[in-house]
Amino acid sequence: MEYLELKKLLKFSLKEKEIIKKLEMPEDAFLPLIFSIRFGGDWSLNKNSKKVMSIKEKITRYDKEKKIGYTLEIVYLFLNPILLSQEGTVHRLEKCSNKKERELVKRPYKVIVGSEYILKATMDPLESTIRLKKVNSPLEFTGSSAYGVSHEIEHLEKGEIKGKPFWEFKYLIDD
Ligand SMILES: [Zn+2]
């Protein structure tokens, strides 16, 4: 890494520390959010009976006339989340970062999540900003974010994700 890049990374990390202090959050509680920002995806962490998870949503805005757009990334950080309700069953394949192969699992289509503290981070690639805002609990999610919530809460409560391996699928030839 170049010296100037290193300096910028250091400045970014220091700013991060400052923000964590301002938000009066334990540093560990901020980690899943940092992971979602740096590496993408959803994350969870269970430490000293404190549970934290981050759920990422993506919204693409595209102007068909100008043919230009951007993808907003919204990360919700939850402190001690609980699943208040869930609705529906969706059979799907999922890849967990702890495992090499995808597995067949069942997830709810809609969830409502309660939490002691929810922080919403909006990453705007046009502005190059990460806006932080405390939001009220509970929150409702549907579709892919609901699957993410269910996946991370399974990690927090049971540790590992349990599903059927892909080799239980059968190839069929249609004619
Ligand atoms: Zn996982």
Where do the structural domains in the chain lie, given as residue ranges? Answer: 3-166
% of the chain with per-residue pLDDT over 70: 100
pLDDT at 49: 79
CB atoms within 10 A of CB 105: 19
Residue 161 Cα to ligand 1 midpoint, Å, equals: 6
Q: Which CATH architecture has domain 3-166?
A: Alpha-Beta Complex (3.90)
- DSSP character string of 51-80: EEEEEEEEEEEEETTTTEEEEEEEEEEEES
Instruction: Please report how many Cα atoms fall inside a 13 Å half-sphere around the Cα of residue 142, on the Cβ side.
Output: 2
**Is 138 within 8 Å of 112 (Cβ atoms)?**
yes
Residue 130 Cα to ligand 1 midpoint, Å, equals: 25
Full-model pTM: 0.90
Residue 153 Cα to ligand 1 midpoint, Å, equals: 10
CB atoms within 10 A of CB 17: 11
Residue 104 Cα to ligand 1 midpoint, Å, equals: 13
Rounded to the nearest integer, the mean pLDDT of the chain is: 93
pLDDT at 91: 96
Residue 64 Cα to ligand 1 midpoint, Å, equals: 36
